[in-house]
């Protein structure tokens, strides 16, 4: 059984540009916040997306399940937390949560599955050993 890895929390502040006309975080921006957290996980673990791209390999989102619980507002301080689980040698699932820092209230949660694909074939490609070793 593969282990779950808790990634470093990402801290964000909600700016005007993140909000809709009601002053709440626009729903699609949670996906951006979660993307930043996934990218930081890779960086923190020495996985260079630039090097992968040079090898014609990229991570793509395969599936998203998202729950909008309560809206974040302008100037809220947020924490994005992620836990990563290896599904196979070519797929990872990120369990991600956005919380408001003052209340610690969960605002949004998501299960996001990503896979590594070969850009030439558009087919899944096994992770390199550096990434696989994280889960051993």
Mean pLDDT of 126-130: 81
The structural domains of the chain, ordered by start, are 4-134 (3.10.129.10)
Alpha helices by DSSP H, listed for 12-48, are: 27-44
Strand pairing category for 91-100 and 106-118 = antiparallel
Give catalytic residue positions: 20
Contact 26, 74 (CB under 8 A): no
Sign of CA dihedral 13, 19, 23, 25: negative
- Is beta strand 10-13 parallel, antiparallel or unpaired with respect to 77-88? antiparallel
Determine if the pTM surpasses 0.85: yes
- Distance (Å, whole) CA 131 – CA 136: 9
Nearest to 116 by CA among 129, 99, 101, 100: 129
Least confident window among 2-6, 70-74, 76-80, 106-110: 2-6
Judge contact between 78 and 128, C-beta under 8 A: no
> Quick check: 26 and 18 in contact, CB under 8 A?
yes
pLDDT, average across residues 82-102? 94
Neighbours of 28 (CB within 10 A): 8
- Is residue 117 pLDDT above 60, yes or no? yes
- Counting DSSP H helices and E strands in the chain, the numbers are 3, 7
């Amino acid at each position: 059984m593969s282990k779950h890895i808790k990634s470093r929390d990402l801290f964000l502040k909600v700016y005007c540009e993140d909000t809709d006309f009601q002053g709440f975080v626009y729903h699609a921006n949670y996906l951006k916040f979660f993307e930043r957290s996934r990218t930081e996980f890779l960086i923190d673990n020495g996985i260079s997306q630039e090097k992968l791209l040079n090898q014609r390999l990229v991570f793509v989102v395969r599936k998203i399940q998202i729950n909008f619980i309560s809206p974040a507002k302008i100037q809220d301080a947020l924490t994005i937390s992620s836990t990563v689980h290896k599904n196979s040698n070519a797929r990872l699932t990120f369990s991600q949560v956005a919380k408001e820092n003052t209340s610690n209230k969960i605002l949004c949660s998501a299960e996001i599955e990503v896979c590594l694909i070969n850009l030439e074939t558009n087919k899944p490609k096994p992770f390199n050993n550096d990434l696989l070793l994280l889960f051993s």
